[in-house]
Copies of this chain bind each other. A is one copy, B any other.
Amino acid sequence: MELTEKDIQPQMTRRRPGQSAITTPRNEKDRVMIQSGTEFGVTLGTPIGLMVMNEDQRPKDYGNQTMDLYPRPSHADYTYAEKYGVKASSGGGRSSARETIGRVAAGAVAEKYLKLAYGIEITAFVTSVGNMHMFPPTAEHPTPSQNPEFLKLLETIDRETVDKFLPVRCPDEKASEAMADLIAEYKEREDSIGGTVTCVIKNVPSGLGEPCFDKIEAMLAHAMLSIPATKGFEVGSGFGGCEVPGSIHNDAFVRAPDAPAAPDSGAARNGLPRPKLTTKTNNSGGIQGGITNGAPIYFRVAFKPPATIGQAQTTATYDGDKEGILAAKGRHDPCVVPRAVPIVEAMSALVVIDALLQQMGRHEALRQLPSLKNRTMQPSDNGVSMTQ
């Protein structure tokens, strides 16, 4: 596959700190360099080494006497000490969200493949900050999955649109402005606030995901909850869907429109067939029995308010002997959701490509088998799914 830094940098830049007044003022260019695994701009099949140099560090912000004595509340300081028996003196060390830079870089490589091969598009955006929601529950639409406006947005949203709503990345002008104000308010108070990110994955082939422990929603949940500061994950109708009767919640099947595969994708080039069926509604979020059905996958991720705040907090020393006051230094985001958007996209890409490669092996294996006698269902050659 053709691959250069240009394929990776845009997501690095979307993630990097210092993008606006409401994110951390730490300024990192986050330039990525490919160290190995490609030659003349083409991947060699072997591991791809990527490097990003840190530029704007201030370890002194961290290694002061107070932060050496007091574990920061709701941060990993205390649990790392419990787990490893030592603590790094500078910054959160391993627990710093700076580690997500590697996820975003890897995700960008995966995404390039997914786009080229199947026209898969992954777009995340902010759907709430604090109690300010883009789609607040109403009597008529208790949950976004029942809301036609939300479902329409899923069909049309793309990253370009999302980035028109910087710095918050909530693709609704009014909500976006209100959220920006809210974040600014928390920043002013040296406090912080949480929010949610919704992500949609379009053009995923049917048949991805394993039937039992590695259902695709289980892999997505694993991936999302591994992102620092996350507290929850819901797919399709999610928690709201628990309140809807089965007779309404069930997604009836209908014949899929004869749409071709995503233009400019390998699937289109190779004339791969699309699924025969689609669903009238999409409470399933594109997944049934742990396996994709070809409809858009969508899910929502909860991010808590960042633990490190400038406000003074009363807390205890590592050994429990003393109570004292901690006012964190360091430069931190008052709300992480705007910068979480590319991280959620990256982790999604990694999950989808893993499931895709696994199913591709199975599908390719099937191509070499003789037809089954007396079976109405015969495998088609659509790349990964096996019926026609």
Asked, given contacts A266-B368, A368-B116, A385-B82, whether A232 binds B222 with beta carbons under 8 Å apart, the answer is: no
> Does A242 touch B at the CB level, under 8 Å?
yes
Tell me whether A304 and B249 are in contact (CB under 8 A): yes
Query: Within the assembled complex, what's the spacing in Å between the Cα atoms of A289 and B83?
Result: 11
Q: Which residues of the other chain, B, contact A82 by a CB distance below 8 angstroms?
A: 206-207, 275, 291, 293-294, 385-387
Asked, given contacts A95-B289, A291-B82, whether A279 binds B368 with beta carbons under 8 Å apart, the answer is: no
In the complex, besides A218-B226, A270-B368, A363-B364, 19 extra interface pairs with C-beta distance below 8 angstroms are A44-B86, A73-B279, A78-B288, A82-B387, A86-B375, A194-B244, A196-B242, A213-B223, A218-B223, A221-B224, A231-B238, A242-B304, A246-B311, A252-B315, A253-B315, A253-B320, A254-B316, A255-B320, A367-B383
What does the 1/0 interface line of A121-132 toward B look like (CB < 8 Å)? Answer: 000000010110
CB distance from A207 to the nearest CB of B (A): 4
Query: Within the assembled complex, what's the spacing in Å between the Cα atoms of A255 and B252?
Result: 56
Asked, given contacts A233-B225, A236-B231, whether A377 binds B305 with beta carbons under 8 Å apart, the answer is: no
Q: Which residues of the other chain, B, contact A285 by a CB distance below 8 angstroms?
A: 231
- Please pick, from B86, B256, B302, B358, the residue contacting A377 in the complex, using a CB distance under 8 A: B86
Asked, given contacts A243-B130, A368-B116, whether A93 binds B44 with beta carbons under 8 Å apart, the answer is: yes
What are 16 of the A-B contact pairs (CB < 8 Å)? A39-B86, A70-B253, A76-B288, A79-B207, A83-B386, A191-B245, A192-B246, A193-B242, A212-B226, A218-B224, A220-B225, A234-B302, A246-B307, A247-B313, A265-B368, A358-B361
